[in-house]
Amino acid sequence: MGYYDEENEKYSQKQKGNRGGWFLAGAVGAILGALLMIFALPVLSNLNFLPYDLQLGGEEESETTQNEEPGPQKNVKVDVNTAVTNVVDDVSDAVVGVVNLQEAGFWDEKGEAGTGSGVIYKKDGNTAFVVTNHHVIADASQIELSLSSGERVPAELLGSDQLTDLAVLQVNSEKIEKVGDFGDSDKVKPGEPVIAIGNPLGLQFSGSVTQGIISGTERAIPVDSDQNGQVDWNAEVLQTDAAINPGNSGGALINIDGKVIGINSMKIAQSSVEGIGLAIPSNLAVPIIDDLERFGEVRRPELGVGLQSLSDISSYHWQETLKLPKEVTNGVVVMSVNQLSSAGQSGLKELDVITEFAGEKVQDIIGFRKELYKQEVGSSVNVVFYRNGEKQSLDIKLGKQSIQGS
């Protein structure tokens, strides 16, 4: 008599033996099927029977996420001749080095007092014209240009203007090939890409190119032209973060179309400031350049007076000395009058307080000069002023400025 458990164990052993045979047969079949697929897939792919492309061999597999379908393959060609490099190729030869040579002493030869940059803006027959900064060529006894080829040629100063910090040179055009074209600086917008070309650190890094954007337009920078500690003028400039370093002064600020939209002039040099470069807008520079080229000076109108802003005078004197009404808080005070000038001939006197000029309100000396320089030499303008507390007016014919003044 046997037991139930023994019979069940025998049955189980018999069943296990049968499964092992089937498993072996299945494994052999799977291996044969896999080998068949390996050899068959390339053939099917070549015959375009597969709904997808099959890549075999050592090609890299593209990475896809679980939710992405592999996209079509394409070749990408990168062209290093970008818009920036094309602009640099077209304009860089028009930017030159400007060398300021000065007498070092009676027995000494001329020595380099400084170097900067310049832009060749016109070629006329045997003469080429170059714009640079006034401070680059100030007090020079001789000026040389360093061309992109490294060759130096002598240059002649045609005229210079301290107020706008611009100067014009002329040079023999025999070795001049490229000329820069001025663009419209009034169309420049913040964020627009720009390129600065110049010679930072003297001629050590000649033809250096830096790229940035326009950070701001119509920036006003105070200028003390006569170095007397008082602001004489607010220079309107473009602000850029393109690197501008010593030696870049007078170089070109160029837009992406290859047009000169500014003449690099200065950089805010403070330890806490980084990336603030300034350039004279082309639309303000071109009229000054034209005057310097034609006349050797800027033909500005002149009233013939010495002025001081009312705000710079103690309020005590507003009523006690100038006798001004309490509502008059802005204007310029006539501190001196050239009796041979148009103002002197017209009857303007010391301590007159000018509050309106050519129909515009006068806030201070900077605003007055801004309106004055909009006028033409020889034109007649109306001047409103207070004398001993009484409001008066005169029509004055403007003369031509002979020295820096008003």
Contact between 309 and 332 (Cβ < 8 Å)? yes
Q: Which of 166, 150, 167, 162 shows the shortest CA–CA distance to 203?
A: 150
41: which residues sit within 8 A by CB, 6+ positions away?
A: 50, 54
In angstroms, the CA 46 to CA 37 distance is: 14
Q: Which of 377, 303, 385, 378 shows the shortest CA–CA distance to 342?
A: 303
In angstroms, the CA 96 to CA 241 distance is: 22
Q: Which of 295, 92, 101, 282 shows the shortest CA–CA distance to 197?
A: 92
What is the CA angle 197-198-200, rounded to 5?
130
Contact between 322 and 312 (Cβ < 8 Å)? no
Structure tokens at 233: 């003028």
Write down the residue that tokens 């006329």 correspond to: 124
Contact between 291 and 388 (Cβ < 8 Å)? no
> What element of type H or E holds 43?
helix 4-46
33: which residues sit within 8 A by CB, 6+ positions away?
A: none
In angstroms, the CA 119 to CA 91 distance is: 9
Type of residue numbered 11: Y
For 38, half-sphere exposure in the C-beta direction (CA atoms, 13 angstrom radius) is 7
Catalytic positions, written as ranges = 135, 165, 249
In angstroms, the CA 187 to CA 307 distance is: 35
Determine the straight-line distance between the first and last CA of the chain, rounded to whole angstroms. 138
153: which residues sit within 8 A by CB, 6+ positions away?
A: 144, 145, 147, 171, 172, 175
In angstroms, the CA 398 to CA 232 distance is: 20
